């Protein structure tokens, strides 16, 4: 039986000039105006206590649920957001925005620099996850919300979720972070750097100034192939592909004998149709820069978390080797040492890092139970 959907939705745009001056980024650069693409679902209740902010992963967008006009592909978390679903739009007012630096409607290197009338390219300043969260805070205020019931997200979205707790510790009742980390490991940074080099080595990249000509599709496709491998698991690759051959026997050439090779090429080709190469550089760099420094006993993040009354729920997946379980446990251990209200769930799943995006009854139960247990709704 088909699950109910929020139905037709549209992406909106919010632009602000950070008062009383342009937004000052972590790099020290001033940026303004700042534009964010966003979508909302459900209704804000009378006392404005039912707002849930959903933060998307690395190359995601604001379209978390429902359908755009003329399209049959639903939002990226359609299984979890909608009427009667774990993030119930009959009960919650759901907000999702595209992060700064991306290319899915928010300001980034592929948008127009108002000072020049040309594409920003590499003139767009590097942004961090704290920068992204500060911009989201302006959007939430614009929507009339001063206190969030919960902030949730997976992967890069989970990093934003943890940053929300650090930057605005009194502004939410709950933090639900999925398949994420408080800092990128050297391995994660290494994979991102190889992916970035594949883009920057493409002769069509032209130091980011390619928007009026041929785009670096080959480099971006290879970058996506590299990244996609980290989202899967050894077990899931065995289940999906094994060593199955495309033609039944070796072709004795370099066209790609194995089904897994064909799959990665397909993923790379699809990706270049929807994402921008420069934006990939920016969002991966933001992920690499992220570090809450929870290991330091007197870090600003620990001090902020020590003062929050928010409840925390962290979720990891057994086969996620990009952000393995020990990284979630490190966050949980710090929160426990600070006396915070925190729960942890490791879900057995064979699908690797992408498991948080896929239907899973156990994850449904965790999300529904956590949100339902928060006060104020």
Same domain, 99 and 245: no
Same domain, 207 and 93: no
pLDDT in tens, 151-172: 999 999 999 999 999 999 999 9
Same domain, 29 and 57: yes
Phi then psi dihedrals of residue 318, to 5 deg: -60, -35
Q: In the chain, which residues have pLDDT < 70?
A: 1-2, 18-21, 375-377
Number of compact structural domains in the chain: 2
**Do 196 and 220 touch, CB atoms closer than 8 A?**
no
**Do 136 and 14 touch, CB atoms closer than 8 A?**
no
pLDDT in tens, 303-351: 999 999 999 999 999 999 999 999 999 999 999 999 999 999 999 999 9
Structural domain contains residue 2: no
What confidence score (pLDDT) does residue 22 get? 85
Domain boundary among 236, 261, 285: 285
Is residue 266 part of the annotated active site? The answer reads no
Is residue 298 part of the annotated active site? The answer reads no
Q: How far apart are CA 311 and CA 282, in angstroms?
A: 31
Domain boundary among 285, 308, 339: 285
Give the SS3 label for residue 55.
Answer: strand
Residue 235 structural domain: 188-285
Q: How far apart are CA 340 and CA 172, in angstroms?
A: 14
What confidence score (pLDDT) does residue 3 get? 78
What confidence score (pLDDT) does residue 377 get? 47
What confidence score (pLDDT) does residue 18 get? 59
Same domain, 350 and 244: no
C-alpha torsion angle, residues 260, 288, 367, 310 (rounded to 10)? 170
Same domain, 79 and 222: no
Neighbours of 138 (CB within 10 A): 18
- The CA–CA distances, whole Å, from 231 to 190, 222, 350 equal 15, 15, 11
Structural domain contains residue 49: yes
Same domain, 61 and 167: yes
Structural domain contains residue 31: yes
Is residue 147 part of the annotated active site? The answer reads no
Same domain, 209 and 79: no
Candidate list 257, 320, 354, 360, residue with the active-site label: 320
Candidate list 110, 155, 182, 328, residue with the active-site label: 155
Structural domain contains residue 7: no
Same domain, 342 and 249: no
Same domain, 176 and 196: no
What confidence score (pLDDT) does residue 120 get? 98
Same domain, 208 and 181: no
Q: Burial level of 198, CB count in 10 A (0-12/13-18/19+)?
A: buried
Domain boundary among 285, 305, 330: 285
Structural domain contains residue 39: yes
Same domain, 206 and 269: yes
Candidate list 202, 353, 354, 360, residue with the active-site label: 353
Same domain, 29 and 157: yes
CATH number at residue 18: 3.40.50.1820
Bridge partner list, 229 = none
């Amino acid at each position: 039986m088909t699950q109910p959907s929020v139905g037709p939705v549209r992406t909106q745009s919010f632009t602000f000039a950070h008062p009383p001056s342009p937004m000052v980024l972590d790099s020290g650069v001033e940026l303004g105006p700042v534009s964010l693409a966003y979508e909302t679902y459900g209704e804000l209740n009378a006392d404005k206590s039912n707002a849930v902010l959903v933060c998307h992963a690395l190359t995601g967008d604001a379209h978390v649920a429902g359908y755009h006009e003329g399209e049959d592909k639903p939002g990226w978390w359609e299984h979890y957001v909608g009427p009667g679903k774990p993030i119930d739009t009959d009960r919650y007012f759901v907000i999702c925005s595209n992060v700064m630096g991306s290319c899915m409607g928010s300001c980034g290197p592929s948008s127009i620099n108002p000072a020049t009338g040309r594409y920003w390219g590499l003139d767009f300043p590097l942004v961090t996850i704290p920068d992204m969260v500060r911009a989201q805070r302006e959007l939430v205020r614009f929507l009339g919300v001063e206190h969030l019931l919960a902030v949730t997200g997976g992967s890069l979205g989970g990093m934003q979720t943890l940053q929300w707790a650090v930057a605005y510790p009194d502004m939410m009742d709950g933090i639900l972070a999925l398949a994420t980390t408080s800092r990128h490991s050297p391995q994660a940074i290494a994979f991102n750097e190889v992916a970035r080099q594949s883009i920057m080595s493409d002769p069509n990249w032209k130091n980011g100034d390619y928007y009026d000509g041929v785009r670096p599709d080959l480099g971006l496709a290879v970058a996506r192939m590299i990244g996609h491998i980290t989202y899967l698991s050894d077990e899931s690759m065995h289940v999906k592909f094994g060593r199955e051959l495309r033609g039944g026997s070796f072709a004795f050439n370099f066209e790609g004998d194995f089904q897994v090779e064909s799959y990665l090429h397909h993923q790379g080709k699809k990706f270049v149709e929807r994402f921008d190469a420069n934006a990939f550089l920016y969002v991966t760099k933001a992920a690499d820069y992220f570090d809450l420094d929870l290991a330091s006993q007197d870090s600003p993040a620990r001090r902020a978390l020590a003062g929050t009354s928010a409840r925390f729920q962290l979720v990891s997946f057994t086969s996620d080797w990009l952000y393995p379980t020990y990284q979630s446990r490190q966050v949980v251990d710090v929160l426990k040492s600070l006396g915070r209200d925190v729960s942890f769930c490791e879900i057995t799943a064979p699908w690797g890092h992408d498991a948080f995006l896929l239907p899973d009854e156990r994850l449904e139960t965790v999300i529904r139970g956590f949100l339902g247990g928060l006060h104020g709704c």
